[in-house]
Amino acid sequence: MKAEMGIELWRTKYHTINGFKQFYRDWQPRDETYLPVLALHGSLTHSGMWIALAEAADSIRMLCPDQRGFGLSEDPGNDSCAEFALDALALGRELLPERYVVMGHSFACSIALEVAHMAAGQVAAVVLIDPVVHTGTPSAAPTEASAPLLRTFATLEEAERHFRETEEGEWAGDMLRCFVQDTMMHDSESGTWRFPYTPARLHRLRAFTSSPENDYNLFKKAEAVRCPCSRFAAV
């Protein structure tokens, strides 16, 4: 979180939903001039991935939950796309006006499309940020190419180095440092940095999304939605 003035515009809270305690952060700009956005993080991050974007965009309200088992939210133990979507819908119903936009990153693009399908009357549009497509047979290993080494980093610099070495993209200036600070969990006692999930949690999700039972099929979900969609693609 960079701007001091931005802190007061973030509301952070827990609420109990679908049987578990979920953490969320809600960017509420003074001058809200766009439809609010329900922003769903990918499987390597948590709600912190939206901090810099919300603050830079300024005038877009962004409601950003830590999805089940990530960040500060509890893990109720089911990883189906439908369950994630129901969590998001319940949060949106409680905190957002009647019409809003759903934005998903990575594996959460399937969740965003599922939300749009389940609540066509509420979801005005969908934004997809670099979705993941699983290739090969259903039993093949997940294709998320840069699975992190599941470990703790002694310093922020070490965590930055990990992302620079494993992730594509041009991280200019202090972008990577901001990203790592916003998306990793810092232990103030030991000073270490860790990923915002346990290894077991991530492995369980990946096992499910690559299993024959998984319900994350992007194409089927794309066919089912009728609202406008914007898709951000990496090249």
Partner 1 sequence: MSKRFPLTTEQPFLQAFTPEPKLVVCPRSGHFPTATESESVIEELKRFLVR
DSSP label of 49: G
CB of 100 to partner 1, least distance (A): 10
The whole-angstrom separation of Cα 48 and Cα 179 is 8
Nearer to partner 1, 188 or 219 (CB): 219
Residue 34, CB half-sphere, CA atoms under 13 Å: how many? 16
Q: Is 169 left (phi over 0), alpha (psi -120 to 50) or beta?
A: left
For 7, the token pair is 């802190």
Helix 175-183 to helix 156-166 angle, to the nearest 10 degrees?
110
Nearer to partner 1, 54 or 86 (CB): 54
CB of 48 to partner 1, least distance (A): 11
CB of 169 to partner 1, least distance (A): 2
In a 3-state reduction of DSSP, which class is residue 39? strand
Nearer to partner 1, 17 or 49 (CB): 49
Please, which residues have CB within 8 angstroms of residue 145's CB and are 6 or more apart in sequence? none
Nearer to partner 1, 21 or 99 (CB): 99
DSSP label of 45: -
CB of 189 to partner 1, least distance (A): 27
Nearer to partner 1, 41 or 68 (CB): 41
In a 3-state reduction of DSSP, which class is residue 95? helix
CB of 76 to partner 1, least distance (A): 26
Nearer to partner 1, 17 or 159 (CB): 159
Please, which residues have CB within 8 angstroms of residue 64's CB and are 6 or more apart in sequence? 24, 25, 26, 27, 39, 41, 47, 50, 54
The contact set with partner 1 (CB under 8 A) reads 34-35, 37, 42, 49-50, 52-53, 56-57, 59-60, 101, 105-106, 125, 127-133, 135, 143-146, 167-172, 175-176, 178-179, 218-219, 222-223, 225-226, 228-235
CB of 23 to partner 1, least distance (A): 19
